[in-house]
Structure 1
Amino acid sequence: MRVSTLLIRSLAITIASASPQWSDPASIQHLAAGWAEKNPDLHNYPNSFTRGIYIKEIHSHNDYVHNAPFYEALSVGAISVEADVWAKDGELLVGHDEISLTKTRTLRSLYLDPILDSLRKMNPDTEFSQNTKCGLFGMWCPQPFYLAVDFKNNATEILPLLLRDLAPLREAGYLSEFNGQENIQRPITVHVGGTAVYENVIADQPLPRYHWVVAPIEKIDTPEEQKHADGTPVYDNTTSLFAQGHYGSMLGVPFEHVWGETTDAQKERLKQLVATARSRGLGSNFWGAPNWPIGARNSAWKAQIEAGVALLYVDDLQDAAQTVW
């Protein structure tokens, strides 16, 4: 009993001597612990809204189903989110299908207003502010954030509503643009898909243009590729930023059969598609990869990353952000 008591006392003394002396007024630990409270005008970094968030090249697929659309994706470092929109009574409502729509869940309320508010937090108005705009990530201000808007019904009805709703971001100088000669990158870049194609959202649009359209990745550099009368491709890096396709279809199998480990042949097919898109100056991404079983999902994620996709489309943000590759 005496030996045990002495051992416990010895351990207590050792632990106490190894612990930081937070209670010692002369210690650096004590100063650090109380510094913020004593210096309220000094301790808040001006644009600390996303401080400590590391950028990850992941895209939040069907982002609007999350409890906090946009914000959850931003909080894990995702650089892209997706919103499916429907034109209804002069508003853009967000949802995968019509039964999920409500009048309050609009593109503005779920995305455009929160994005603008976040950018204002990242660009405080001070006497030292410059014309250069910081993006949504304090760790790397030049990083653009991609808003993918998937048109669900009539594209010719959706587009003017989208351009109207983008006006506050455009007027504040936050939207990337194509000026007729080159792409000008700014904090927010909008690209559209779904019922949106070159003819109804790009052709004959006035310049500067503040959106791009997704290119069909499976048709690039094939006989089926759409071309202008002069033989030049319709989709290039002035009309599109990304080429996209359905994961299973691109690998030659229907979605429900993509269950196991990604095969060597499928990996090579992915690399070929990515390389072809890159040769056109386009990034690549794939939707519809398996979410379950987890092994199949992780294998598909890894195969895409190794192939060099520009954005990894995911539904589970936390897993994608924390997975060790």
Structure 2
Amino acid sequence: MKKITTLFISFTLSIQFIAAQSVKSYSTAQAHSHNDYERVRPFTDAYEQQFGSVEADIFLVNDTLFVAHNLKDIRPNRTFKALYLLPILEKTEQNGGRIYSQDNIPLQLLIDLKTEGEPTLAALIKVLEPYKNIFAPAGSVKVVVSGNVPDPTLFEQYPDFIYFDGRPENAYTPAQMAHVGLISQAFQKYSNWNGEGPILEKDKKKIQKMITEVHDKGKKVRIWATPDNINSWKTMMALGVDYLNTDKVRELGDYLRTAPR
């Protein structure tokens, strides 16, 4: 009887070990600061947590790119250049051409175009062009454009340092896919879960199916508008979401550094 019990315990531990090994290991490099410009310190709060992704909504007004959630929130000193470009240039210079001092931590800069796509994107390219060597594919900061993006048939007309935010339901040609830097979708497309208790199995399967299909294409997944608590973060990690979407930068940062694995 003792031998059978020992074998059972050994088998159980082996199963638990295999399950643990199958869960992707997460750090703040897989964290995304949603609407980052609404932080107390835009860019800086997420950067100090070593987040791997930050999001900025931009509006083109009188040839200047402003960062805001709505037009009414625009302020003269809150430009894209002041809040994001200059801090990125400063950190890159301090770190010898890398955004972070560590070689293996890049930064995804997700830029949501809120005004008309073509002129806003043209203005963004004009601002970024002089510094294109710090942006992927040459550098460690990957610019991914979302919001009012051009039709995929036009992707190839843009510089190689501009990537686009795709959607899992869209079909892209291989040439278009080369310009897709990320695949995103709203959580409500798959579930109405509020982050309390376990997510419904049918919803989990829908999300897992989407993630598997995106990963098979060699792309990373972000799901926006997810519940924003520890239970949700753990669920998203178990599902294999590549970027954990949060408005709670410090809380998620603390959790990812201290949570038991």
Q: 1: CA distance between counterparts of 2:138 and 2:226?
A: 29
In the alignment, which residue of structure 2 is the partner of 1:75? 48
In the alignment, which residue of structure 2 is the partner of 1:260? 196
User: Quick one: structure 1 residues 158 and 301, their matched pair in 2 at CA, closer, same or farther if it must change by over 3 Å?
Assistant: same
Equivalent of 1:247, from 183, 187, 196? 187
Q: 1: CA distance between counterparts of 2:226 and 2:218?
A: 24
Segments of 5+ residues of structure 2 without an aligned counterpart are 1-26
Alignment of structure 1 residues 305-316 onto 2, 5 Å? 305-316=237-248
Matched, 1:62 2:35: yes
Letter paired with 2:187: Y
Q: Percent same amino acid among aligned pairs?
A: 21
Letter paired with 2:251: D
In the alignment, which residue of structure 2 is the partner of 1:281? 218
Deviation at 1:145, TM superposition (A): 0.8
Letter paired with 2:194: V
Q: 2: CA distance between counterparts of 1:280 and 1:185?
A: 22
Alignment of structure 1 residues 122-141 onto 2, 5 Å? 122-123=95-96, 133=97, 135-138=98-101, 140-141=102-103
Tell me the TM-score normalized by structure 2.
0.81
In the alignment, which residue of structure 1 is the partner of 2:143? 190
Deviation at 1:112, TM superposition (A): 0.3
Deviations 1:226-254 (A, max 9, x none): 45xxxx46752x12121100012223x3x
Equivalent of 2:124, from 152, 162, 165? 162
Matched, 1:212 2:163: yes
Deviation at 1:55, TM superposition (A): 4.7
Q: 2: CA distance between counterparts of 1:243 and 1:84?
A: 17
In the alignment, which residue of structure 2 is the partner of 1:298? 230
Q: 1: CA distance between counterparts of 2:153 and 2:115?
A: 12
Q: Judge conservation of contact 1:64–1:70 (CA < 8 Å) in 2.
A: yes
Q: 1: CA distance between counterparts of 2:221 and 2:86?
A: 28
Letter paired with 2:68: G
Matched, 1:320 2:252: yes
Computed over aligned residues only, the root mean square deviation of the Cα atoms, in angstroms, reads: 2.0
Deviations 1:114-148 (A, max 9, x none): 1001111112xxxxxxxxx4x2222x224221110
Partner of 2:40, secondary structure, is: coil
User: Quick one: structure 1 residues 260 and 201, their matched pair in 2 at CA, closer, same or farther if it must change by over 3 Å?
Assistant: farther
Partner of 2:134, secondary structure, is: coil
Deviations 1:181-230 (A, max 9, x none): xxx3521110011111434862433xx5211111112x0xxxxx345xxx
Segments of 5+ residues of structure 1 without an aligned counterpart are 1-53, 124-132, 177-183, 220-224, 292-296
Q: 2: CA distance between counterparts of 1:264 and 1:72?
A: 35
Equivalent of 2:134, from 158, 167, 174? 174
User: Quick one: structure 1 residues 200 and 113, their matched pair in 2 at CA, closer, same or farther if it must change by over 3 Å?
Assistant: farther
Q: Judge conservation of contact 1:144–1:185 (CA < 8 Å) in 2.
A: no
In the alignment, which residue of structure 1 is the partner of 2:24? none
Deviation at 1:57, TM superposition (A): 1.0
Q: Which of these two proteins has the greater Rg computed from alpha carbons?
A: 1
Q: Judge conservation of contact 2:28–2:253 (CA < 8 Å) in 1.
A: no
Letter paired with 1:298: I
Q: 2: CA distance between counterparts of 1:151 and 1:99?
A: 16
In the alignment, which residue of structure 2 is the partner of 1:43? none
Of the structure 1 ranges 69-78 and 195-204, higher mean CA displacement relative to structure 2 is found in: 195-204
Structure ranking higher on relative contact order (CA contacts 8 Å, 6+ apart): 2
Deviation at 1:165, TM superposition (A): 1.0
Q: How many residues align?
A: 230
Partner of 2:208, secondary structure, is: helix
Alignment of structure 1 residues 5-16 onto 2, 5 Å? none
Deviation at 1:71, TM superposition (A): 0.8
Q: 1: CA distance between counterparts of 2:138 and 2:129?
A: 17
Partner of 1:202, secondary structure, is: helix
Deviations 1:143-183 (A, max 9, x none): 2211100011100110111011113421xx2111xxxxxxx
